[in-house]
A and B are shown apart, each in its own frame.
Chain A
Amino acid sequence: MFGFFLRRASLIIPTFIGITLLVFSLIHMIPGDAVEAMSGERGMDAARYARLVHQLGLDRPLYVQYFDYLGHVLQGDLGHSIVTQESVLHEFLALFPATVELSFCAMLIALAIGLPAGILAALKRNTVFDYAVMGVSLTGYSMPIFWWALLLILLFSVTLGWTPVSGRIDILFDLPPVTGFMLIDSLLSGEPGAFRSALSHLILPAIALGTIPLAVVARMTRSAMLEVLREDYVRTARAKGLSRFRVVGIHALRNALIPVVTVIGLQVGTLLAGAILTETIFSWPGIGKWLVEAIHRRDYPVVQGGILLSATIIIVVNLAVDLLYGVINPRIRHSS
């Protein structure tokens, strides 16, 4: 098991180095001047320019600059934002819980609806229910989520007035950040109505963000389940006279979940990409909105750092899923 762990873990090192190279070269590919881009200053005099070139280390050979950059990154120094002068890592860590909270709830919605829908569709194959689930999930999969988010706002916030349009909690509440997760913080604060307010702010963005993973999970569960239900051991279990619930719930589902777990892991990338759109629409103060704003402000250190950190998180989560896959499925662990 440990050997399997090491083998898989060592695979992410070249990918990580590749991403640092990509992010490093990003700043050198920007049309125009790297000094102006990195410092955010325009039209400076020659002396100031020369000092900045030296200060930013741009007068050294590229490979020296890269190793210097890599050294800083490995020590957690991702530079400073041009706009706020704050450390990029610091800003990221402050906003990251908001994105995690949103993504986690989105995934929860996706699983809570997607798994049962997929299982039922497989059990009731070729019925109206099956066609409906597949049709809805294909539509969800094709949905431009920024538009879907707007429709949700139009219906639930504007027409029905059930939920607020933007933010994480009502401005009347001033909660001390303990965990960074608003749902938990609002409970800890003990203020009446705070949790309700946080939840009502969260629900629409979570639905919007969870739609594509929901569609993917439902489709994947259905097809995995159909495959497993054809297996001999399912027929054997049925022949033994086990109840339908036991056959489906214990014998079939456990094996059908293996490919579904992989798909769930792959959705982390989808969630982070979707967060860019969802957070922008709902003014959700997470890293997606932060990145888009940084691009519009040409705050390149933030763009660089944000992309590097997001990519690293995705690689690490995919690794974790890979390892988990080995734990649930011994065949994978021993074959590699």
Chain B
Amino acid sequence: MADLQRLEDTLKRDGGQVRDAGPEDAVDGVPATAVARPVSADGVAAVLRETTAQGLATVARGAGTALDWGAPPERVDLILDTTGLDRLVEHGSGDLVVVAEAGLPVATLAETVRAAGQELVVDLPPERLAAGSTVGGALSTGASGPRRLQRGGIRDLVLGATVVLADGTVASSGGKVVKNVAGYDLAKLLTGAYGTLGIVVRAAFRLHPVRPDRAFVVATGPSADVAARARGVVGSQLAPAAVELDRPVGSEVAEVAVLLEGTGGAVGQRAAAVVEILGGRVQGEPPEWWAALPGAEVSTGSTRGGGDVTYAKATATLTGVADLLAAAQDAEQRYGVGVALRGSAGGVLHAAVTGTPEATAAAVGHLRGAASSPREGTVTVLRASREVRAALDAWGPVGGLDLMRAIKSRLDPGRNVAPGRFVGGI
């Protein structure tokens, strides 16, 4: 490990800190040498200028709730802890816009904008939210929750971002207005990039007014049947805010929960119309699995040390969702694995696969096969043990990989930020 003294001197000036890393700072099993906690974008820039000049590898960390998503980095010299950048920069309530630093917990942001009757519709898994998941973490992992069906994913809500590149360049794109087509939309490029293009230090998001009324319609039945009825709701004129499916491990039945949001009592009428399509019952509260990652019941929190649960993100066309559910059941029978599947009938779901590395690899392959081509659906592994990663192709086929490599090479030519964490070894 090279000279950290200069880093420390630089950071001290604006209140940041550097310390030696401990075992708890390892990133998915890859040990780190030091942890820097700057408190400003300039501090982040100073850190990266210094570490990159020394040829070191830096990995950003927010609350660390999804630090073991994506491939483990090839090497980690420095952890850049973003939680010192935790200011809510601006809440333009009349403009339905919020600007926040990357280290601000999403829950804190939510609390602030809630006071004005507004919300950032990212619907993080409750376990991540409770553990302090940050704005930068939610953006960098491309978080996806139930209401993206109607409001879009986080990439559709982000209006602008400021990133610090590996060489310390501080660059902004977009802005803080809802409508803006000036320049490249680099905020989208940074979304879901797992910190491999630079370290996001600030982002602006579009907010929505909280809808005062809501109702859930919940129904259960054979997977194929439930999937077909869920698709009927997605294709209706009832404007569901979310249509979520849950298929537990080893189950031939699935549950569907539809969220309706609105004003002035109209929600009740729509809920009744949804019941006509779906069957089931109307309730005021979501089912307990709502927005959570699947398979919590089998993980017992042991995954961090390289346990046996593999988490994946699965995408599909609307009609392909039923195929994915069928493939889950099929994979269980063929390979002796457990496959829990949960997510939006709009075609973005999460899977939890339990089994040996070989069986898990076979099951992931089988889930991929549910779509006739990668353009119709993909399965990417988010979190897995070393053994499972060694047994499978975590990302699957990636369209435009050469362009992605070129972007990485232009923005981080020395591979100094989060090397190896992304598709194709980026």
User: A and B from one assembly?
Assistant: no
Binding site for B on A (CB under 8 A): none
Binding site for A on B (CB under 8 A): none
